[in-house]
Amino acid sequence: MYQEMFASGLYDSAQGYDILRTLAEAEFEEECAEEEARKEYEEESN
């Protein structure tokens, strides 16, 4: 999603790029946390 915003020119400054990168990193960390929680749940249920 953020890559499309960047490509469309919504983020054309260095500050905008920093915001974009921060959002992408936060999204990635959230996905990792969800995956880790899912693995732990599966291990506990077995």
More confident residue, 40 or 11: 40
pLDDT tens digits, residue range 3-25? Answer: 666 666 655 677 777 888 899 99
Both tokens of 7, joined, read 């490509």
Q: Which residue has the higher pLDDT, 8 or 37?
A: 37
Report DSSP letters for 1-46, one per residue: -HHHHHHTTS--SHHHHHHHHHHHHHHHHHHHHHHHHHHHHHHHH-
Name the one residue in this structure whose structure tokens are 């490509």: 7
Contact 20, 8 (CB under 8 A): no
> What per-residue confidence (pLDDT) applies to 17?
77
Q: What is the pTM assigned to this prediction?
A: 0.57
